[in-house]
């Protein structure tokens, strides 16, 4: 498996542990439908939260969350709409980003709640 795929999987596992330790109920991990994918879908209080996880090594040139550009946001919004529709979800929705800086046994997590909203660019 390519190193960047393994790194991404480690980051997602760390993000799930982080969220669960804060009381989030994880509904899906790597949810896929057609060509759509959402890293983590969770419930926090009375909101469904769609979470994009970006993991980078310590020496990477940009912060991980910078990779969630407008194009990626639109992709995630479309995927979330598909999930909500197919599962008949009746909760307010939120889009978060979790960035993980991974450095061997050490890591840091930055959780950006309400990182972006549908219709706002």
Q: Domain of 36: which CATH number?
A: 3.40.1350.10
Residue 121: inside a domain: no
> What are the pLDDT digits (tens) for 17-55?
999 999 999 999 999 988 889 999 999 999 999 999 998
The whole-number average pLDDT for the span 75-92 is 95
Instruction: Give every CB contact of residue 67 below 8 A, 6+ residues apart in sequence.
Output: 54
Determine the pLDDT at residue 66: 77
Measured distance CA(59)–CA(30) in Å, rounded: 26
- Answer whether residue 18 is part of any domain: yes
Locate 60 and state its tokens. 């990477």
Contact predicate 94/112, CB 8 Å: no
pLDDT at 120 over 60: no
Number of domains in the chain: 1
Structural domain range at position 83: 3-116
Could you tell me the two tokens for 26? 């994880």
| pTM for the model | 0.91
Please report whether residue 29 resides in a domain.
yes
């Amino acid at each position: 498996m390519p190193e960047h795929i393994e790194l991404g999987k480690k980051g997602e596992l760390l993000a799930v542990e982080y969220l669960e330790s804060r009381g989030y109920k994880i509904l899906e991990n790597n949810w896929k439908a057609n060509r759509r994918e959402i890293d983590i879908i969770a419930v926090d209080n009375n909101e469904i939260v769609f979470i994009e996880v970006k993991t980078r090594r310590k020496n990477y040139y940009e912060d991980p969350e910078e990779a969630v550009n407008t194009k990626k946001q639109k992709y995630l919004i479309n995927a979330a709409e598909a999930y909500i529709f197919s599962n008949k979800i009746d909760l307010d929705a939120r889009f978060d980003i979790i960035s993980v800086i991974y450095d061997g046994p050490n890591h840091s997590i930055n959780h950006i709640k309400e990182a972006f909203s549908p219709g706002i660019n």
